[in-house]
């Protein structure tokens, strides 16, 4: 039973990673959507709460309010609002995708007795999203993570994960390499994963994503020098790739190496507004706090953890780190 629980928690956590926000168009919820996409969550919450008060039938406002609540750690309330968005507009694949993520967040915190029912809900919502929009690749990636990590008794299946990867490759060759690289990583065939990501880089030289996949793989395998090299090369090629700055800081923290360079890069990252699919400023403050701890500067570490919590009060990692050194 403990093994099943660990598999489920890993599955639900992984299924939450992918996502692309919708663009706002012409309704009273526009402001809230725009603020959410700009990571201004406090203001977004206020605007979206006003939007749903004014129009209880606004499915988009309900979904985005759920997303804000999910980011704030109010998971049960988030799921309720996302359920409302699906009830109001059942045919919207994006709403089903986000509802699946909300159920996944609930499952991470649930008891072992409740997790199987929530697992079925996660799977159901991702499947419904991909049925409604076969080109919704994030729903398919969510299914891949579910099939790879869930135990067989709850629907886990390597065969079904492979089927989803093939469907992704039919629709988007670049993301197909990402999908098959992920399958190879699950099999611990890291050489094959690197070949998949390398082919993506070779066939799509104008795209930065494959370099991030390669760098992340090296970091996960403890090959820190190779990870640093990948991210530094990204910055040399395009100084606008400031997400690479965040990753250099992250690898510095993981490895305990090149701490001065990591500090420099995280400070550079904090000088800009991240894109919706990039790490948040709260995450950068948290990483910088960890880095200062490694450098032995507890005062600066406390400052960065506090800054992370000011931006995102739901960050338990920053709260625990701050408590530990206070």
Q: For residue 1, how many other CB atoms are within 10 A of its CB?
A: 7
Q: To the nearest 10°, the Cα dihedral for 67, 70, 71, 74?
A: 140
78 domain-assigned: yes
Structural domain for 51, as ranges: 2-174+236-325
pLDDT at 212: 97
pLDDT at 71: 86
230 domain-assigned: no
Q: How many domains does the chain have?
A: 1
The whole-angstrom separation of Cα 247 and Cα 269 is: 10
Contact (Cβ atoms closer than 8 angstroms) between residue 145 and residue 11: yes
Contact (Cβ atoms closer than 8 angstroms) between residue 146 and residue 121: no
180 domain-assigned: no
Please give the chain's pLDDT, 326 residues, in tens. 445 455 555 555 555 544 434 333 446 689 999 999 887 888 899 999 999 999 999 999 999 999 999 988 899 999 999 999 999 999 999 999 999 999 998 988 888 888 899 989 999 999 999 999 999 999 999 999 999 988 888 889 999 999 999 999 999 999 999 999 999 999 999 999 999 999 999 999 999 999 999 999 999 999 999 999 999 999 999 988 999 999 999 999 999 999 999 999 999 999 988 887 889 899 999 999 999 999 999 999 999 999 999 988 878 899 999 999 98
CATH number of residue 88's parent domain: 1.25.40.10
pLDDT at 154: 85
190 domain-assigned: no
The whole-angstrom separation of Cα 245 and Cα 228 is: 10
pLDDT at 10: 52
pLDDT at 225: 98
224 domain-assigned: no
Give the pLDDT confidence of 67-111 residue by residue, as tens digits.
999 988 899 999 999 999 999 999 999 999 999 999 998 988 888
* pTM to 2 decimal places: 0.82
């Amino acid at each position: 039973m403990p093994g099943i629980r660990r598999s489920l928690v890993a599955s639900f956590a992984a299924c939450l990673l992918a996502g692309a926000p919708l663009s706002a168009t012409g309704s009273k919820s526009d402001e809230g959507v725009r603020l959410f996409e700009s990571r201004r969550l406090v203001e977004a919450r206020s605007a979206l709460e006003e939007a749903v008060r004014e129009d209880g039938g606004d499915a988009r406002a309900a979904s985005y309010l759920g997303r804000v609540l999910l980011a704030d750690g109010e998971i049960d309330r988030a799921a309720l609002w996302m359920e409302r968005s699906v009830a109001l507009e059942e045919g919207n694949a994006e709403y089903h995708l986000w509802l699946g993520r909300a159920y996944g967040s609930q499952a991470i915190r649930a008891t072992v007795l409740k997790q199987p029912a929530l697992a079925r809900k996660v799977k159901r919502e991702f499947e419904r999203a991909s049925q409604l929009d076969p080109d919704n690749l994030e729903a398919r990636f969510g299914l891949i993570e579910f099939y790879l990590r869930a135990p067989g008794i709850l629907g886990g299946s390597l065969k079904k994960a492979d089927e989803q990867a093939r469907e992704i490759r039919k629709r988007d060759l670049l993301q197909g390499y990402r999908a098959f690289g992920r399958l190879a990583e699950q099999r611990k065939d890291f050489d094959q994963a690197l070949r998949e990501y390398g082919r993506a880089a070779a066939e799509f030289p104008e795209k930065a994503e494959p370099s991030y996949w390669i760098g992340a793989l090296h970091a996960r395998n403890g090959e820190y020098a190779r990870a640093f090299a990948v991210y530094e090369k990204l910055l040399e090629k395009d100084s606008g790739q400031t997400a690479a700055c965040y990753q250099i800081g992250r690898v510095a923290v993981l490895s305990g190496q090149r701490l001065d360079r990591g500090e420099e890069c995280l400070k550079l990252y904090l000088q800009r507004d991240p894109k919706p699919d990039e790490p948040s400023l709260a995450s950068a403050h948290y990483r910088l706090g960890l880095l200062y701890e490694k450098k032995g500067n507890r005062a600066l570490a406390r400052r960065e953890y506090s800054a992370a919590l000011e931006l995102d009060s739901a960050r338990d990692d920053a709260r625990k780190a701050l408590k530990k050194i206070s």
